Structure 1
């Protein structure tokens, strides 16, 4: 890394939440839209220099690196570009992923391979490329985006659930591997979130309003999770003051996985 472009020094031990990432550099995959964009904005608002890695350009003011998570060379080039831009790396948010619908008969071998390459191996590629820089940080963290589908059986989501279950297991294994290097690894598990991907699914439904109502109703707080809510959870997990938060999966799902309410 070029020390001449290193970010400002990190100050630990303060209570100012609005600047808790001051002097730090963050990398967010899938940061061009949806939850990833909200995470990138949240970290930047709290002082971080943010690089967005995505196949699509971002319309935000954040530094962007084109990145295909299914291609090792692309991932390594993107991570290297982020390091060259800010001279350091402290926070990695592995958020990018692709969806899939249907029961176990619905998806082809090619679809299984693609989802696994992006949702699981893609996170491993980014983490692997980022580890040398993270080992130099006094406040290193990796946060992976899992899902309520990692924890609860959802209809017509077999392939997606399989990949997100793997993300949760991988998170705990990574946390065990790197905790003594000073790198905290956690994951966040959103419920059904109000994102462009969900909107595309709704647009394809025979009755989009009824489908949205059904998705809202299955979450105990009776609404979709907002991207900003997930972003704040990610910021908590990445906060360098939370040194004992390690190997955690933080659910942001309106109680969908944990609660069992009686019918009204």
Structure 2
């Protein structure tokens, strides 16, 4: 019975920004739990390479998550021609580091589009179909920066705070229709997005002291949380932000 709760066989999962890093790791974990995977990104070459790693059955769906109409048209067409999207993981995002007083306004707008508008765009497009079926799982990727701040990333922090509250809003509006909308908030993980920090011995030393677990996270360690939130095991979990951060938000 317990194992069945986590079984995703017969369900289809769309993971945005999933050609590498956290997105690919989450897609891999969902696939291992039985889900059919649909990878999303803007680079067709990267998506095809990622799909080949997952093996037969993995699909690709290239579109720009910041383009509202393109997202809606692509999702509607996929639902009509292929079938339902049962699980959505809103993972696509970006980072830009600069002192707040010097932060370029165009970079701020790009962060808002990539990190917040994308969650709204894809979430709305997919939820419209889920609502009609009275079931669905939406998992947004937040961050420890949903709750905390660090120098040089204030706009990123603002966007991830917005993702956390948008997740709560989704649950508030859509739980009555049978959807569960939650977020995973990763701590510091070894990803392409964090490559510069991983390569910085001073930052790694600081992180090891600041994190109770004493290390960087490995992207595979996010898969269990994602499978839980995508499965029947979380049928009464809604509007929750699940921190997977080695304890960094729990300690001063």
Same fold, judged at TM 0.5 (above): yes
Q: How does 1:41-190 map to 2 (within 5 A)?
A: 41-56=28-43, 57-58=46-47, 59-61=49-51, 62-80=58-76, 82-84=78-80, 86-137=82-133, 139-190=135-186
Aligned to 1:210: 202
Query: For this pair of structures, how many residues does the alignment match?
Result: 243
1:36 to partner: Cα distance: 0.4
Contact 2:139 2:229 (C-alpha < 8 Å) held by counterparts: yes
* Per-residue Cα deviation, 1:57-104 (whole angstroms, up to 9, x for no partner): 322332111121221233224424543564111111101100121332
**C-alpha separation between the residues in 1 aligned to 2:81 and 2:202?**
46
- 3-state secondary structure, aligned to 1:222: coil
- 3-state secondary structure, aligned to 2:15: strand
Instruction: Note closer, same or farther for the CA distance 1:213–1:85 as it changes in structure 2 (3 Å cut).
Output: farther
**C-alpha separation between the residues in 2 aligned to 1:19 and 1:239?**
5
TM-score (norm 1): 0.85
* Per-residue Cα deviation, 1:140-169 (whole angstroms, up to 9, x for no partner): 110101100011122221011000000001
Aligned to 1:20: 7
Aligned to 1:253: 245
Contact 1:175 1:246 (C-alpha < 8 Å) held by counterparts: yes
Instruction: Note closer, same or farther for the CA distance 1:181–1:45 as it changes in structure 2 (3 Å cut).
Output: same
> Where is the helix percentage greater, Structure 1 or Structure 2?
2
Instruction: Note closer, same or farther for the CA distance 1:122–1:19 as it changes in structure 2 (3 Å cut).
Output: same
1:126 to partner: Cα distance: 0.1
- 3-state secondary structure, aligned to 2:14: strand
Of stretches 59-68 and 87-96 in structure 1, the one that deviates more from structure 2 is 59-68
Q: Which runs of 5+ in 1 are unaligned?
A: 1-13
Q: Which runs of 5+ in 2 are unaligned?
A: 52-57
Contact 2:8 2:33 (C-alpha < 8 Å) held by counterparts: yes
1:214 to partner: Cα distance: 2.4
* Per-residue Cα deviation, 1:22-47 (whole angstroms, up to 9, x for no partner): 11111100111111001111111111
TM-score (norm 2): 0.89
